[in-house]
Amino acid sequence: MLKKMTPNLIVKDVKSTVDWYQNVLGCFEVVLTDPESGKYDWAMMACEDVEIMFQSKDSIRESIKEFDLPERGCNAVMYIEMEYLDEFRERIKDRIEIVKDIHKTPYGILELAIRDCNGFILVFAEW
């Protein structure tokens, strides 16, 4: 039985990614990391029910030898459901790159698309 899915995004620098998610988005906290200090190889972060893992390119190549990693990593869009989208946008708007500002989709959901420090697109959605 499947229970949940947590994306593991391949990034150049795990520590700077952790700092960005903590300081720019503001609600993400480190749950686990390896190693616990120094240069991180991997980290799991959480904000309420949302979990994201980040792993360095060197670390993923070491742990999964067959992993074929293009130079940039892989493209991904993270779709994150939330409440109070307007307030969230106001709090972070001066510290982020907005890819698509708050808009109502044809299926009736408010969405805000931003780019994180690694180039991944994060879409925050309010139903």
Query: CA 80, CA 23: separation in Å to the nearest integer?
Result: 18
> Tens digits of per-residue pLDDT, 32-89?
998 877 789 999 999 999 999 999 988 887 888 777 666 655 677 899 999 999 999 9
- Does residue 1 lie within any of the structural domains? no
> Tens digits of per-residue pLDDT, 100-112?
999 999 999 999 9
- CB count, 10 Å around CB of 32? 11
> Tens digits of per-residue pLDDT, 18-27?
999 999 999 8
Q: What CATH number does residue 64 fall under?
A: 3.10.180.10
Report if pTM > 0.85.
Answer: yes
Domain that holds residue 16: 8-126
| Torsion angles phi and psi, residue 64, rounded to 5 | -130, 90
Average pLDDT over residues 93-97: 96
Total domain count for the chain?
1
- Does residue 32 lie within any of the structural domains? yes
- Does residue 115 lie within any of the structural domains? yes
